[in-house]
Chain A
Amino acid sequence: MLLDRIKSLDGILLAAVFGLMICGLVALYSTSQSGGGANFFLSQARWIMLGTVVMLVFAYLPNRFFYELAYPIYIISILFLIMVLFWGSTTYGATRWLRIGGVGFQPSEFAKIATLLAVARYLSDERMEINRPKIFLIASGLIALPFLLVAKQPDLGTGLVFAVITLPIFFWVGLKTNYLILIVTPVIAFATSFNIYLFIIVLAAIIYFLYRIRFSILWGIGYLLLNISLWFVRSIFWNQLKDYQKKRITTFWNPEADPLGAGYQIIQSKVAIGSGGFFGKGFLDGSQTQLRFLPEQHTDFIFAVIGEEFGFVGVVIVLALFTWLLLRIIHLSNIFRNEFSSIVAIGVGTMLGFHTFVNIGMTIGLAPVTGLPLPFISYGGSALLTNLVMIGFLLNFYRHRYIY
């Protein structure tokens, strides 16, 4: 009986998750080799145990549970986000934490899950055809509301996560490829608006694309003007950013410009990883890590610890585990026979994938420093709990995968 219950879990998914958490613990043990400092290893081990229990509880809840509660949870999470703006506690110039009865938590983590559930529920109804403007706008609105509230905190990294889950979900439920391209191009135009040549190339590509799909002239010109106006929007947007956000972006483009300031993190991280070589310097023998040249080594830059002490071999193992995990999640969303489950799975996959790419990319200078933690590996109870809850969803859906 019990054995059946255990067998009903998705072992392939769980193997990847636990593999990653073990890698995380090893790296955290390495960063905790001090007398006075906090022991991240023990603390994280405790969080993993708690998170596993929570995950299993979620896995065995009734199948329709999340579906039924999706909207109420969404509303509560929005209320929390509003409360943070008024009563949240502020650290490093951002208001992200809410204290209720002495326990602090980040409502934005909670909101990620809630938004995903709400969007999934909305779009799981087959009458909600995503290519209809009204449906598209409502679904986007569901995501935009928490996104704006989180961006207001400000928490650029987490805010981006909201924006990022949108398109993969829409595309999964049938958004037309041309529409997808029309939506993505302004983002690319915006991203390239720092460099006039790149920007012009993008504009040219847009014109070519509009011609190919035979877009009406009037709409086409309007769309082109929209893209051009992004050049000006960018400068306004730029001025809106806080100093530390600007610094992160400029140092992404050119870390050597400020080697002692904002670029310091990226350079130290690259030195740590590069000097690790093929086999690494050995467990607890990474001088960059142990001498604390690596900033934020237990959270944002934990992957650099792995890179330094375990070398390219260690990197390949962890990357393989992540690939395994992500491919499995996409596979699950394909085999779930229930729309709601399938959409949630895509959302979970996107979120985890985004965190993974941005975090790891940041350690080798391929992505800007955003403060997004590495799923299952970075130190931090809040994020770990969120991720394990999402895995709990997938396990739950997996048990009922044949139910329509």
Chain B
Amino acid sequence: MSNINFRSGNPRKLFYYGIISAAMLLLLGGFYNLQILQESVYRGQSEKNSIKRETRIPVRGHIYDRNWGRFQLTGTGVDSLRQVGVPFQLLRKLMPLKSRVFDSEAAFLDSLSVRGGKAEINRYKNAFLRYCQMGKLIVDNRPSFALYLVPALTTRAQLDSLSSIINISVDQMRRNFRRSRRFQPVKIARYVDYRTLVKLQENRLDFPGLEWKVEPKRHYYFKSSYAHVLGTLGEIGEDELGRDDSYEPGDIVGKKGIEKVLDKVLRGEKGYRFVKMDAVGRRVEEIAFPENAFPYPGKDLYLTIDARLQRYADSLFADRNGAFVAVDVRNGEILTLLSKPDYDLNLFAEAVDPEVWKTLMSDSLKPLFDRVTQATYPPGSTYKMVAAIAGLNEGIVSPNWSVFCPGYFRIGRRTIRCWNAGGHGEVDAVSAIRGSCNVYFYKLGLKIGIDQWADYSTRFLFGKLTEVELTAEKPGLVPSKKYYDRIYGKNGWTKGILANIAIGQGELLVTPLQMAQFAMILANNGTNHQLHLRRKLVDKIPRYRLTDKSFQQMAEENISPEILSALSPLKDQEYSHKSLIKKLDSHIGLIESNELRPKILGSAEKRFAKPDTFATQSTEITGISPEVFEIVREGMRQVVAGGTGWRAGVWRKTGGGKTGTAQNPHGDTHAWYIGFAPFDNPEIAIAVIFENGGGGGAVAAPVAGKYLQRYFHYKGEFDYREYREFQRILYEKQKEQALQDSIQAAQAVADSLQNLAPNNQD
């Protein structure tokens, strides 16, 4: 017998039928009540009580150079001050302060006041702050407007007349419509200027479905030299949407460069606002809502770039192509990062003109291509230090090991030439670097072998990303035995390859940034600092604290005692803007909080958080003895002091460096120079390359030299006037010397002639 009653008249089955039917009837009753009895009530509500979330776009952080916020009285600054009417007497009193650098506005004004008198300085305060600002603003934002249309409220005729006002075809707008909801506003245009907007506003009644939103766009202060540092912005792609929760379709995000890498910090936080809408989607009023949120502006970025040096380096390039990097060797800050040719970022601030885009894309000089981190070149002779260090450190050769260079080198049946056809004669490690002798390094390369060489190359971080804050960086290539086996087959390659890569030719490829990093490591005797472009990030939103004073002030502003006592638990606590608003909402209620917020925030004590600075991250290249560094560096010192790189030397300054002239399959040789200065206690390292520019010593080294002059000039350690004076004296001395020499020579000839004469007479 079963426990279950299987008769078709089972009362329990009927009971279940009953429950189901009763429940269904209950639901049906509920729907009948809502949809038929109370339909008009709810229809009314749905028509006027619709709440919609609006996104409020935050302002993207500004970008400054490293010196923004520091002040200095300079010659040009004084000229400008005089032109705007600052009295000469006052400026004369301030002259002792010339060239001194002040780290803050307050310190600067204080020092000025001590010399010039408080009242006087205050009178011209704005002029002083403006013309003595050391730094440069590189990027900020300009207002522009985005237009939206609600498809359900827009007719074909409206589209036609809209398209005659804004420069967008009807087809384009309809295409946007196809992908969207009928009631959802669709973005049909962005970067509409104010004048167009006014025109549309005048005809507002003709376009019931039209809405607009402020959407800041980037404004770049420099036409060139920053494109590859900053990178461009653009509308978010579908593949990027998942990268962060706050990304939404239609967002503008960083697409390249530091704008992309630091996008999350720069863009700020979107705000939301809930608004009441009527049935046709028009805004009725803003409402207090717990999810309402302010848009928080992005943090300001201070680059490590020195705008003065960046501009100067740019001017040194003229029309040539290549890359320039300068690094502070004490912390890895990149002072200059330049890839030429580049392009005007303002072209990308709005939706790019397709014509412009096409020209940029098809330009054979590839201005869109970042040569500093994405281009890989054979390094040529600048790479010889790697072979030298490997040979010396592994004990394969001694520092005194020397080679006779007759100007060529025979390997098997082939003869390879040294660049110096006359030959370098007897050379050891130091003089081989000084004279960049190929024969020495051919022989050394053969002795070292591919494995050791590749090992030392990777130890100096070649073949690896530098992980600077830029996008699409290339690692270059350090060929290994495995690599050659793969390319040429096992035993399919000869030792000749080794001779070749030891002088930085062949399959070896490096980026200019890696070379700058290499120069920094040599300058530091093996210490590497993470290269970086971000000096600090500054939050524009202060932190708030309600003090006794704030409560007094609020009481004076007629805030009721009940509210004040409700606020008392918040007293003397520090809050971020966001958390304070949350607290206000919960302590005094949404409506009150909305209303009193300006007064309460206004009375609060504000304090700005300390900026996040980039902490230097250092690593040591271990296992290389100090003596080895000493020998190689001595070679590099001699390169600058009379060797192949003498043109990179700076008057009265020491330094080390190496030239390179890299053969390549694309035409003329690339001109390379890497170096650092001063020789003891180095501060700055440089890597420069001119694509197909010619010889490193003749083309690249002088540019490095000029840049270093300028660097030391800004530090007050190099005076152009003095230097020119010195050169003039030197020139005159030489002229005098030459005159004397020729007089002496003439004398000698005359003497000898005289000596000959009597003999003839004899």
Assess the A273–B183 pair: CB atoms within 8 A.
no
B16 close to A (CB within 8 Å): yes
Contact of B184 with A274 in the complex, beta carbons under 8 Å: no
Produce 1/0 per residue, B376-419, CB < 8 A to A. Answer: 00000000000000000000000000000000000000000000
Q: Which one of A36, A123, A126, A339 has the highest number of Cβ atoms from chain B below 10 Å of its Cβ?
A: A36
Query: Given A271, A330, A334, A353, which contacts B46 in the complex, CB threshold below 8 Å?
Result: A271
The yes or no answer to A128 lying at the interface (CB within 8 A) is yes
User: 4 tightest CB-CB pairs across the interface, nearest first?
Assistant: A274-B42, A35-B179, A36-B249, A275-B46
Q: Is the CB of B279 within 8 A of A287?
A: yes
Known contacts A34-B184, A291-B281; is-contact A270 B42 (Cβ 8 Å) = yes
B30 x A364 contact (CB < 8 A)? yes
With known contacts A270-B42, A326-B20, A339-B2, A34–B51 Cβ distance under 8 A: no
Check if B52 is an interface residue, CB within 8 A of chain A. yes
B41 close to chain A: CB less than 8 A: yes
| B290 touching A261, Cβ below 8 Å | yes
Contact (Cβ within 8 A) B49 A271? yes
A327 touches B20 (CB 8 A): yes
Tell me if B619 counts as interface (CB < 8 A to partner A): no
Contact B30 A366 (CB under 8 A): yes
Neighbouring B residues of A327 by C-beta, 8 Å? 17, 20
Could you list which residues of chain A lie within 8 angstroms of chain B, going by C-beta atoms? Answer: 33-36, 123, 126, 128-130, 168, 171-174, 260-261, 270-278, 284-285, 287-288, 290-293, 307, 311-312, 315-316, 319, 322-323, 326-327, 330-331, 333-335, 337, 339, 342-343, 346, 349, 353, 357, 360-361, 364-366
Q: Are B249 and A278 in contact (CB under 8 A)?
A: no
Distance between A307 CB and nearest chain B CB, rounded to angstroms: 7
Interface status of B488 (Cβ within 8 A of chain A): no
Q: Is the CB of B4 within 8 A of A275?
A: no
Please, which residues of chain B bring their CB within 8 A of the CB of A334? 6, 8, 10, 13
For residue B614, CB closer than 8 A to chain A, the reply is no
Binary interface encoding of chain B residues 2-40 relative to chain A, with 1 for a CB under 8 A from any of its CBs, else 0: 111110101011001100110110111011101110110
Cα distance, A339 to B4, chains bound together (Å): 7
In the complex the two chains form, is B42's CB within 8 Å of A275's CB?
yes
Contact residues in A for B46 (Cβ distance below 8 Å): 271-272, 274-275, 287-288
- Tell me if B43 is interfacial: C-beta within 8 Å of chain A: yes
Task: Identify which of A34, A173, A260, A271 contacts B4 (C-beta below 8 A).
Answer: A173
Which positions 168-188 of chain B face chain A at CB distance < 8 Å? 179-184
Which residues from chain B contact A361 at a C-beta distance below 8 Å?
A: 26-27, 30
**B23 nearest CB neighbor, chain A only:** A357
Q: How far is the CB of A394 from chain B (nearest CB, A)?
A: 15
In the complex formed, the residue of A with least CB distance to B287 is A260
A and B contact pairs by CB, cutoff 8 A, 23 listed: A33-B180, A35-B249, A36-B248, A36-B249, A36-B250, A173-B4, A270-B34, A271-B49, A273-B35, A274-B39, A274-B46, A275-B42, A276-B39, A290-B183, A312-B32, A315-B28, A323-B21, A327-B17, A342-B6, A353-B20, A357-B23, A366-B26, A366-B27
User: Which chain A residues border B51 with CB–CB below 8 Å?
Assistant: 293
- List 9 additional A-B contacts (Cβ < 8 Å) besides A35-B249, A323-B21: A33-B182, A130-B3, A174-B5, A260-B288, A274-B38, A274-B42, A312-B32, A312-B36, A316-B28
Asked if B182 and A364 make an inter-chain contact with CB atoms under 8 angstroms apart, the answer reads no
Closest chain-A Cβ to B209's Cβ sits at a distance in Å of 13
Chain A residue nearest in CB terms to B178: A35
The reply to whether A323 and B20 form a contact with Cβ atoms under 8 Å apart is yes
Is B437 an interface position by the 8 A CB rule?
A: no
**Residues A311 and B26 in contact in the complex (CB < 8 Å), given A128-B3, A172-B4:** no
Binding site for A on B (CB under 8 A): 1-6, 8, 10, 12-13, 16-17, 20-21, 23-24, 26-28, 30-32, 34-36, 38-39, 41-43, 45-47, 49-52, 179-184, 241, 248-250, 277, 279, 281, 287-290, 590
Q: Are A173 and B290 in contact (CB under 8 A)?
A: no
B31 and A364 form a contact (CB under 8 A): yes
Chain B residues lying within 8 Å of A284, measured Cβ to Cβ, are 182
Contact of B277 among A126, A275, A291 (CB under 8 A): A291
Once the chains bind, are A273 and B34 in contact (CB under 8 Å)?
yes
B181 touches A330 (CB 8 A): no
With A123-B3, A278-B36, A311-B35 known to touch, is A291 a contact of B12 (CB < 8 Å)?
no
Q: Which of B13, B50, B289 contacts A293 (CB 8 A)?
A: B50
Q: Are B20 and A330 in contact (CB under 8 A)?
A: yes
Interface Cβ pair total, 8 Å cutoff: 157
Cβ contacts under 8 Å, A285 to chain B: 182
Residue on A nearest B30 in the bound complex, by CB: A364
Say whether B35 contacts A277, CB under 8 Å. Answer: yes
A276 engages B52 (CB within 8 Å):
no
CA distance A158 to B6 in the complex (A): 30
In the complex, are the beta carbons of B24 and A174 less than 8 A apart?
Answer: no
Q: How far is the CB of B540 from chain A (nearest CB, A)?
A: 30
Q: Judging by beta carbons under 8 Å apart, are A291 and B183 in contact?
A: yes
CA distance A275 to B41 in the complex (A): 8
Interface centre among A36, A274, A323 (most CB of B within 10 A): A274
Distance from A93 Cβ to chain B, minimum over Cβ atoms (Å): 16
Can you name the residue of chain A whose Cβ is closest to the Cβ of B241?
A: A36
| CB neighbours of B31 from chain A (8 A) | 273, 307, 312, 315-316, 319, 364
Q: Tell whether, in the assembled complex, residue A291 and residue B30 are in contact, meaning their CB atoms are under 8 Å apart.
A: no
A129 to nearest B CB, angstroms? Answer: 7
CB distance from A1 to the nearest CB of B (A): 31
Of B3, B39, B183, most buried by chain A (CB within 10 Å of CB) is: B3
A35–B49 alpha-carbon span in the complex (Å): 26
In the bound complex, residues from chain A placing their C-beta under 8 Å from that of B20 are 323, 326-327, 330, 353
**Residues of chain A lying within 8 A (CB to CB) of residue B30:** 361, 364-366
Q: Most chain-B Cβ atoms within 10 A of its Cβ — which of A291, A311, A316, A346?
A: A291
From A353, which residue of chain B is reached at the shortest CB distance?
A: B20
CB distance from B396 to the nearest CB of A (A): 51
Residues in B with CB closer than 8 Å to A331 are 13
B180 touches A312 (CB 8 A): no
Q: A339-B4, A364-B31 are in contact. Are A287 and B180 (CB under 8 A)?
A: no
How far apart are B189's CB and chain A's nearest CB, in angstroms?
Answer: 16
B32 touches A290 (CB 8 A): no
Q: Which residues of A contact B1 (CB under 8 A)?
A: 126
Interface pair A274/B34, CB less than 8 Å apart? yes
Q: Are B50 and A291 in contact (CB under 8 A)?
A: yes
What is the bound-complex CA distance between A291 and B5, given in angstroms?
Answer: 53
Tell me if B17 and A35 are in contact (CB < 8 A).
no
CB distance from A208 to the nearest CB of B (A): 22
User: Bound complex: CA of A129 vs CA of B3, how far in Å?
Assistant: 7
CB atoms of A330 and B13 under 8 A apart: yes
Do A174 and B3 touch across chains, with their CB atoms under 8 A apart? yes
Query: Is A278 a contact partner of B35 (Cβ separation < 8 A)?
Result: yes
Nearest Cβ on chain A to B482's Cβ, whole angstroms: 32
Smallest distance from the beta carbon of A92 to chain B beta carbons, Å?
13
Query: Chain B CB within 10 Å — which of A126, A271, A276, A288 has the most?
Result: A271
Name the residue on A nearest B7 (C-beta): A334
B1, B36, B42, B250 — which one has the most chain A CB atoms within 10 A of its CB?
A: B42
Residues of A within 8 A of B179 (CB): 34-36
In contact, B290 and A290 (Cβ under 8 angstroms): no
Contact A307 B279 (CB under 8 A): no
**Contact status A287-B50, CB under 8 Å:** yes
> In this complex, what residue of B is CB-closest to A30?
B181
Contacting pair A126 B42 (CB below 8 A) = no
CB neighbours (8 Å) of A291 from chain B are 50, 52, 181, 183-184, 277, 281
Assembled-state Cα–Cα distance A327/B16 (Å): 8
B249 touches A172 (CB 8 A): no
Q: Which of chain A's residues have a CB closer than 8 A to the CB of B24?
A: 319, 322-323
| Nearest A residue to B11, CB-CB | A177
Given A34-B180, A275-B45, A278-B35, A174:B27 Cβ within 8 A: no
Distance A272 CA – B34 CA, assembled complex (angstroms): 10
Q: Nearest CB to that of B179 among chain A residues? A: A35
B1, B8, B23, B46: most-surrounded residue (chain A CB, <10 A): B46
A70 to B31, CA, bound (A): 40
Measured CA separation A335–B13 after assembly (Å): 11
CA distance A335 to B8 in the complex (A): 8
